[in-house]
Structure 1
Amino acid sequence: MSSDVTRPNLSDALTEQVLELIREDGLGPGDRLPSTRELSRRFAVTVPTLREALRRLEVTGAILMRHGSGIYVGADLERVVLPNPNVRELRGERLVQLLETRLLIEPQAAELAARRATPDAVTRMRVVLAEAGRHLRGEDAELHAANITFHRAAGLAAGNGVLAEVLDSLLSVHALEQREILRLFDDRARDFEEHTVILEAIERGDSEAARDLMRRHLEDVKSVIEKRLTP
């Protein structure tokens, strides 16, 4: 396999910088953070790059993003699992191993989601999927954040807190690999269509279809990545 994959960029350290800001300012659950625009200026990054880090923190409960209100410190601040800031390059084998691991977890999570998802959980997935649709022709960072949030939302919809934490930790720790997988897969429309049919199966309560569609989706991605990593 080729090891020609990208190196980490500035966004990989942003989650830690936001957490440092919270600690340095002595903020606790319910306290308000500066606005997205203010934070992007403070950290000298683009707004889309910052939003990716904020979404990662939001799904772990470290922060809460309230539309029209602002960004607040969440109750689960200390539960956050962060990517390793010392990683300097990726090997192709790690991408395949991550997808293999996700294949062991996410089809079963989708099956449970089809059985247990509440109306609110389904609505959350629809909102995230709609956001991904808006970014199909936009910034990679925005689309990546929406796609990963969709998978996390599916895990949460399964109604098993431990399972959701395992999936969230896996995706958070390997955020860099996930971005590289999106870059190598490079078929935004296909990815979006497969997410759509998975959500439809979950929404109609078809657990078998939800499981099989999630499995095929991840196997499809894995097959493409393996081919593109082969010299």
Structure 2
Amino acid sequence: MAEYDAPVSPSVRPSLTDGLMTQILEIIRQGHLRHGDGLPTVRELAKRFSVTAPTVREALRGLQATGTVELRHGSGVYVGAGASRMVLANPHTTGITTEATLQLVEARLMIEPTIAMQAALHRTPENLDRLQAALATALQPRDDGQPEARLNFHRELAASSGNTVIYEVIDSLLAVRRREQREVRRVYDHRADYDQHVAIFEAVAGQDAERAGELTRAHLMEIRNAVASRLS
């Protein structure tokens, strides 16, 4: 039998789009560009890398999915907030299940009480302002099609910890499991959720780390029990 080289799976072989995404990332890195800085246009990128405009758009959409770039209609291409992140959410998720929702809450229960304690110790006036802004809109009707229109209390709590990686872990966890988060909101009483957030905020504002941790643990335990009851 003649020997031959096994073909490389298309899923393994780097694609033209993957290579282009890497080259665009190099533009950001070498140019020391930051969030909001402009990037070359689609036409300019196509000419620079000798590819077609649709190929450039496909690469940009891939980078947009992780927040690395922002495509602003009628304006251009800009560096996104995710360009410097060390932890990124996977934009391709599987279907929602009650079991997955329960695991999400349990994962948060493992880490968020400690985050709340750190937030109480390290929060800044700006952090408190953003936590208050998250509380201010919490009881308003929610449009899940416009998640950027409101602040998430737990994201802002993580930001208040002063640890960028921890913030990115929570941000990515909530982003990649957005559908499970909607399920949590559906099964858990909105008013109770708000009141518990207010109590956590007051502990953080008062720099009472132990109480902030205890309240966060109790809050997530109640959510866990509400989700778990649906499995019974």
TM class, shorter-chain normalised?
Answer: 0.5 to 0.7
| 8 Å contact from structure 1 (residues 96, 225) kept in 2 | yes
What is the aligned residue count?
172
Query: Partner of 2:92: helix, strand, or coil?
Result: coil
Matched, 1:215 2:217: yes
Distance 2:90 2:204 in 1: 30
Indicate which of 100, 116, 119 corresponds to 1:113.
119
Q: Runs ≥4 in structure 1, deviation > 2 angstroms?
A: 26-32, 60-63, 72-86, 139-148
| 8 Å contact from structure 1 (residues 107, 215) kept in 2 | yes
Quote how far apart the aligned CAs of 1:93 are: 1.3
Matched, 1:131 2:121: no
The percentage of counterpart residues that share the same residue type is 36
Q: Which amino acid aligns with 2:218?
A: R
| 8 Å contact from structure 1 (residues 113, 155) kept in 2 | yes
1:122-166 per-position Cα deviation (integer Å, ceiling 9, x unaligned): 111111111213x1xx23528977887210100010111121122
| Counterparts of residues 87-166 of structure 1 (less than 5 Å) | 87=94, 89-133=95-139, 135=140, 138-139=141-142, 141=144, 149-166=152-169
Distance 1:122 1:62 in 2: 28
Structure number with greater Rg is: 2
In structure 2, the CA distance between the partners of 1:125 and 1:217, relative to structure 1 (3 Å rule), is same
Q: Which amino acid aligns with 1:153?
A: E
Partner residue in 1 for 2:187: 184
Quote how far apart the aligned CAs of 1:85 are: 2.8
Unaligned stretches of 5+ in structure 2? Answer: 1-20, 39-63, 71-77
| 8 Å contact from structure 2 (residues 121, 207) kept in 1 | yes
Aligned-residue CA RMSD (Å): 3.3
In structure 2, the CA distance between the partners of 1:152 and 1:139, relative to structure 1 (3 Å rule), is closer
Matched, 1:81 2:81: no
1:62-103 per-position Cα deviation (integer Å, ceiling 9, x unaligned): 66xxxxxxxx7435336373444352x322211111111101
| 8 Å contact from structure 2 (residues 130, 151) kept in 1 | no
Choose between structure 1 and 2: higher helix proportion.
Answer: 1
Question: Quick one: higher RCO (CA 8 Å, sep 6+), 1 or 2?
Answer: 1
Partner residue in 2 for 1:225: 227
Indicate which of 144, 168, 183 corresponds to 2:171.
168
In structure 2, the CA distance between the partners of 1:75 and 1:192, relative to structure 1 (3 Å rule), is closer
Distance 1:103 1:30 in 2: 34
Query: Partner of 2:152: helix, strand, or coil?
Result: helix
Distance 1:218 1:147 in 2: 21
Unaligned stretches of 5+ in structure 1? Answer: 1-19, 33-53, 64-71
Partner residue in 1 for 2:205: 203
TM-score, normalised to structure 2's length? 0.63
Partner residue in 2 for 1:11: none
In structure 2, the CA distance between the partners of 1:83 and 1:74, relative to structure 1 (3 Å rule), is closer
| 8 Å contact from structure 2 (residues 96, 180) kept in 1 | yes
| 8 Å contact from structure 1 (residues 128, 146) kept in 2 | no
Q: Which amino acid aligns with 2:113?
A: P
1:151-185 per-position Cα deviation (integer Å, ceiling 9, x unaligned): 01000101111211221221122112111111122
Distance 1:193 1:146 in 2: 21
| 8 Å contact from structure 1 (residues 129, 147) kept in 2 | no
